[in-house]
Amino acid sequence: MKFIKLFLLLFIGVIFIHSSFAADIWTKIPSPTNQKLMRSYFLDSLNGWVVGDSGLIIHTSNGGLNFDKQTSNTYDNLSDIFFLNKRIGWAVGNKYFGFYPVFYLTTDGGLNWNHTYYPDTMARFSCLNFLDSLNGFIGGYANGQAYCFILKTTDGGNNWTKAQSDTTIFAMMNILNIRFYNPQLGIACGGTMDRSGVFWETTDGGNFWQSSSVAPEPLYQTIILDSLNFICAGGGIDNGAFVISTSNSGTNWNYDTLPLFGVAMSIFKRTPSEWWVGMGFANVLFFTTNSGKKWDYIRFPDSVGINDVNFPDSTHGWAFGNFGTILKYTKFTSGIKNENSFVGNYELYQNYPNPFNPSTIIRFKIKDSRFVSLKVYDVLGREVASLVNEFKKAGKYEIRFTNNQLPSGLYLVKMVADNFTATRKIILLK
């Protein structure tokens, strides 16, 4: 039994503390639903909303300590959501199997939602974006209609008009994501499975959109870094997942295939050079720390598809998926890093025994007198024990760490001495 527990703990450690991201951890948190979660919108690190199947809208105002259900008063499958501030927000979805589109509006933070069905029952809504309280856009698909299905409003959603576009066949394909860099420059992406991934661009505030075919499969989401640099993620069953990027506003594209079976359903930047990709039905998050030059991934143990990734800032992140899955990203503000344990005059050794129950020995060495801090953290970055916090003379030291109150799990020991910082992973196995 203990061997099985040890295997599981080591497995979880590999998953959530990746070699390149020892200080960056994704953890699964309680969810108020087991329904599919599709898209999210966060105003900041505390306030966010998520939509999904059967009229589902969930909301947090405390950074995910809890998510509460909000009442949409419908069973429509919702596909996207956008909030201007803590009061005013919009959502879109479809009533029947991807058709009979519906538009939602709230003016009280989601406590109450008003919905309006679009008159073309064979169209579908996929995405939306608002520039301010009046000017906004909806993207989707008009089944059998020979026009680009981007709708524009100038009165907060009371009335909608069709935007203009070029007349190529690509312009008429499904629009899945809309982003704006400024009130004039906007991009959209989408396409049709096994036919084309399409990129749209507007330079006149969304009145006219120019389309181009840039990939073999649909593009699901975009990032705008600046007026020239855009990134899109997409894929399909036949061609797999990929990320494309341009540095000249879409004239030329770089194409990167992601080396695992799946579809890149979402992409979001944590920093300008670090991007995260949710792989749809695959239980994987891809990431790059160098603007796509190299990709790596984290695989989650419960095989749950990830449909959306969101970073309201560089230290807070979210991923949402099937069966109500909510994953929270934590970047340790305590300064924990995965560094070599020997630098110059200092060294932090691996504890022994490891795993341990209920105590273990932690050893460290300093070659000159220094103030030393030695602390233990859980995987969420919370301090659970302070072992040393004082001036020490040069020498080798052994500290016994004993704790009968902590649950079994993975913990991190952090040593700080002058400019030296090191961490070791320790496992408590009861």
- Residue 4's CB is within 10 A of a number of other CB atoms, namely 8
pTM for the complete prediction? 0.75
State which of 83-92, 146-155, 167-176 shows the largest mean pLDDT. 83-92
Q: What percent of the chain has pLDDT over 90?
A: 63
Residue owning tokens 């079994």: 408
- Is 88's pLDDT higher than 70? yes
Residue 422 has pLDDT above 60, yes or no: yes
What is residue 297's predicted lDDT score, i.e. its pLDDT? Answer: 84
Q: Is the pLDDT of residue 91 over 80?
A: yes
Per-residue pLDDT averaged across 102-106, rounded? 97
**pLDDT tier for residue 388 given thresholds of 50, 70 and 90:** very high
Q: In order of start, what are the domains of the chain with their CATH numbers? A: 25-331 (2.130.10.10), 342-428 (2.60.40.3080)
What's the mean pLDDT in 43-57? 96
Per-residue pLDDT of 280-313, as tens digits, reads: 888 889 999 899 998 988 877 566 789 999 999 9
Residue linked to tokens 């300008």:
272
Write out the E strands in 43-155: 48-52, 57-60, 68-70, 77-83, 89-96, 99-106, 114-117, 123-130, 136-142, 150-153
pLDDT for 163-213, tens place per residue? 999 988 898 999 999 999 999 999 999 999 989 999 999 999 999 999 999
**Cβ neighbours around 251 below 10 Å, total:** 9
Whether 6 has a pLDDT exceeding 70, the answer reads: no
Q: What is the mean pLDDT of the chain?
A: 87
From residue 421, give the alpha-carbon distance in Å to each of 49, 289, 346, 373, 414.
38, 22, 9, 10, 7
Cα(286)–Cα(295) distance, integer angstroms: 7
What is residue 332's predicted lDDT score, i.e. its pLDDT? 53
Check pLDDT > 90 for residue 261. Answer: no
370: confidence class by pLDDT, cuts 50, 70, 90? confident
Band (pLDDT 50/70/90 cuts) for residue 342 is: very low
Average pLDDT value for residue range 327-350:
61
Nearest CA-CA partner of 309 in 265, 274, 273, 245: 265
pLDDT of residue 403: 86
Q: What pLDDT, in 10s, does the model give residues 10-46?
A: 444 433 433 333 345 787 888 999 999 999 999 999 9
Nearest-angstrom CA–CA distance, 399 and 404? 16
For 215-260, write each residue's pLDDT tens digit.
Answer: 999 999 999 999 999 999 999 988 889 999 999 999 999 999 998 8
